Amino acid sequence: KHCCGTCHGKLIEIEVPGSSTSAAASSKSSFGYTPKKKREATGFSLFVKQHSKEVRSNLLQQRQRSSSSGTVKVTQPEVMKECGRLWKEYKHKNSDNTTIRASEEIVGSKIDEIGRSLNKEVDAIGRQLFDLSMG
């Protein structure tokens, strides 16, 4: 019934280190099992957690206005699709602001750099004029 996709050999069930039925569940390190590290929540997952109820209610209100029947359902995939669209807008707006701020900083630093080089040139010309007037 179950076979290898490459050689079509019979598959044999073995104990998986770290599984609850395994005898090694209490001594996970004996099989070299390291538990999965818990990852931090992503910006999108936090955004969905914060906005999904609001998005669902907004979609429900839109559907009720456009539909003549009394019962209207909003499915989870529809909510996730709308959350994805809103996240994309949110990221675009924030990335534009970040880009603008970064470009302003770059322009500001370039202006400072140009100002410093001009000051050096003016100082050099001033020294040359002083040397000419003294010599």
What is the pLDDT at residue 25? 46
Residues 89 and 83: beta-carbon distance below 8 Å: no
Q: In angstroms, rounded to a whole number, what is the distance separating the alpha carbons of residues 102 and 33?
A: 45
Burial (CB < 10 A; 0-12, 13-18, 19+), residue 60, is middle
pTM summary value: 0.47
pLDDT tens-place string over residues 105-124: 666 666 677 777 777 888 88
- Which pLDDT band holds residue 24 (cuts at 50, 70, 90)? very low
Split at pLDDT 50, 70, 90, the class of 78 is very high
Question: Residues 61, 88: contact at Cβ < 8 Å?
Answer: no
Give the integer Cα–Cα distance in Å for 42 and 115. Answer: 42
